[in-house]
Structure 1
């Protein structure tokens, strides 16, 4: 039942409603079963991870025409049971670049219930003797000390260090998001010795977010004081407002920055030209068009270049208003920073962490963040999610076989149908809900917020104090 995301309370409710028993199991008995199930699930996960590595090698051989590679590319990402940096549990995964399958997963915990019970006896000799035996026997559930934000760093280092022993490979390239110091931590740890250098590859999605973050911070930072008609001094964002850096415009520039990298991830020079093309595109006016860096031809996304290809520049008029000069001067340093060769070099190849983020969602579907749990429960959820992510619903049958629970034709047919339904739904959603449509909806929402009249505000702190 734990594999299905149902705990002791849920089992008790099910047994009671089905008139099977008033209670399912006693808490100690239930916990012992959970521990056994956790070990069984981890055993199955190890087999799937080994198989995934072999598939990755074969895919890499086919893509690069090499024989039996021993150095692979992985993406890593961490997720926490509780939002923020106060979580007691964190999960970190490594996923192969070519197959998109999980190679390894590790749960970090800074909490142990048994240790908590002994809190009042920390200074006693009895505690010291117990704690030594508790740790040596491997019963302590706490395997992390320090801030929760460091869980991802220590987990990735540990998985790199055990990759040769567990999987028989080394990880040459690491795809990270730059949100933590994971890469620098791995490099400093030197998991494969002094002479083995691990390369950093950037997740394009997270690089794209940097543009939006920098632009929003810029708007917040530039504030001027103005006086109202009533003589009251108020602070106003000087770079925001109609025709300036609205939320919609920031979204546009962010998306275009990301597209410039995605569509040209085979060349640093192409990426840089495409990034600056978007800058000069929104600098252009009818009197001073600056579309030299925009792609030429009838299929160009640039209206000016389309008109040039059709020999219609004589009657061409821009369909948008160029950004003001002060805005362009303010955002120019951001474009310089985010188009540096060092950053774009790490974007070559078009790497992403999308698979890791999809896995993270699956983990917390099995063990929701809103529901409390122990490190064992999180470990079960993480390994179950990783196996389902790799092998689909048939992974559940593998768990049952590992626990000596028989499976028959009906269970295999259910797994097949469940996977077919999941895939068909995903394909249907992708067909009817394209990325462009999602971006357009979001831009419309941002546009509505930009034009929201303060008099229409219906909710806010102190809003009803006028009476």
Structure 2
């Protein structure tokens, strides 16, 4: 059978539209392409598109371009986009707080107390320590680390900046708006100091938020965070101890090797430029050095002398030849030369 009728779009809101099918007998069937969210006039597809655009980091303009490329209707306009964000924010905040509280309780259960081990890190909106905005967070310790608390730090307020346009033309409105709005600036100082100030702030409020104390801090090699926690202790009765992050520390071996290889790439060594290439310091070998360095630290963490010997054994083993063996600090567990002598 062939349907004899007409289809029209009765209403369109962003990615949502209401379709009306009218039969030749004047009977109408109305189909909505997306359901309406509870207690609001917003449509599910538009709300989800806003969430997706923010999670993907493309914003409204990126969403507009994506829809154009996919040849689908344009999303809701800019004003409705940000209105939807304001509508979603309380829900996100509530879920965020509930999720972090659950993560704290998991960490307390694992440590059998209210003094737990955490790691801290930070990120910036752009590289180069010139960013106006940054985020710091503390995470639980374990195979599946979870965020316990986070803080956004800003050196600039978009509303304050926008109000400057009416500062002299309408000083009354400028003063009223400036006093009413919630300023976004919560950090004074360099962008590089955001991580130090932010992590200290998270430590200081842990007792108030969760009734816990971060007694052990896993550092990532940053030389400024831990001294700040010691010089300005967030707790009166707890002395914070630092646990060095071996993974981050072992990366220094890789970075140093890469830096040396880069600095020598135009230097003639044994008839060849640099130290890279087949039979020399390859990328795979650099990664292996990092791995061996980490194992030397982990396997000898209770004995400094053995740790030093194990680290130097890496270099001695790799620099050895049949005519000049240097395997006196090697272990038969990995050294083929010593294994051959035992046979």
What TM-score results when the alignment is normalised by the length of structure 2? Answer: 0.68
Compared CA separation, residues 25 and 283, structure 1 to 2 (3 A): closer
> CA–CA distance in 1 between the matches of 2:245 and 2:183?
35
For residue 187 of structure 2, give the secondary structure of its aligned residue in structure 1: coil
Question: Which structure's CA Rg is the greater one?
Answer: 2
From the two aligned structures, give the one with the greater helix fraction.
1
Deviation at 1:156, TM superposition (A): 0.8
Answer yes or no: is 1:273 the counterpart of 2:309.
yes
Aligned-partner Cα distance in 2 for 1:127–1:184 = 45
1:257 alignment partner in structure 2? 293
Counterpart contact for 2:215–2:241, Cα < 8 Å: yes
1:209 match = 251
**Residues 277-296 of structure 1, C-alpha deviation per residue, up to 9 Å, x if partnerless?**
21222343334433232223
Kindly provide the CA deviation profile for residues 407-461 of structure 1, in whole angstroms up to 9, marking residues without a partner as x: xxxxxxxxxxxxxxxxxxxxxxxxxxxxxxxxxxxxxxxxxxxxxxxxxxxxxxx
Q: Distance in 2 between matches of 1:267 and 1:145?
A: 43
The superposition leaves residues 140-197 of structure 1 with CA deviations (integer Å, 9 ceiling, x where unpaired) of 223223332222222111111111111111111111222462222333331113x532
Map 1:54-453 to 2 at 5 A.
Answer: 54-61=105-112, 69-98=113-142, 99-120=144-165, 126=172, 129-130=175-176, 133-134=179-180, 139-179=182-222, 181-193=224-236, 196-218=238-260, 249-265=285-301, 267-296=303-332, 300-308=333-341, 311-312=342-343
Alignment partner of 2:76 out of 17, 20, 24 = 24
How many residues align? The count is 284
The secondary structure found in structure 2 opposite 1:282 is helix
CA distance 1:172–1:127, shift in 2 (3 Å):
farther
Shift of the 265–121 alpha-carbon distance from structure 1 to 2, 3 Å rule, reads: farther
Q: 1:12 to 1:304 in 2, by over 3 A?
A: closer
Is the CA contact (8 Å cut-off) linking 1:12 and 1:23 kept in structure 2?
A: no
Question: Residue 13 and residue 219 in structure 1: after superposition, are their counterparts in 2 closer, same or farther (change >3 A)?
Answer: closer
Structure 1 pair 32/217, CA: closer, same or farther in 2 (3 Å)? same
The answer (yes or no) to whether the contact 2:53–2:60 under 8 Å persists in 1 is no
CA distance in 2, matches of 1:280, 1:225: 24
- Tell me how far apart the structure 1 counterparts of residues 176 and 255 of structure 2 sit (CA, whole Å): 50
Give distance in 2, aligned partners of 1:79 and 1:221. Answer: 29
- Tell me which moved more, 279-288 or 123-132: 123-132
Alpha-carbon offset, residue 223 of structure 1: 10
Cα shift at 1:46: 0.9
Instruction: Measure the CA separation in 2 of the matches of 1:260 and 1:23.
Output: 56
Q: Residues 42, 264 of structure 1: CA spacing in aligned structure 2 closer, same or farther, 3 A cutoff?
A: farther
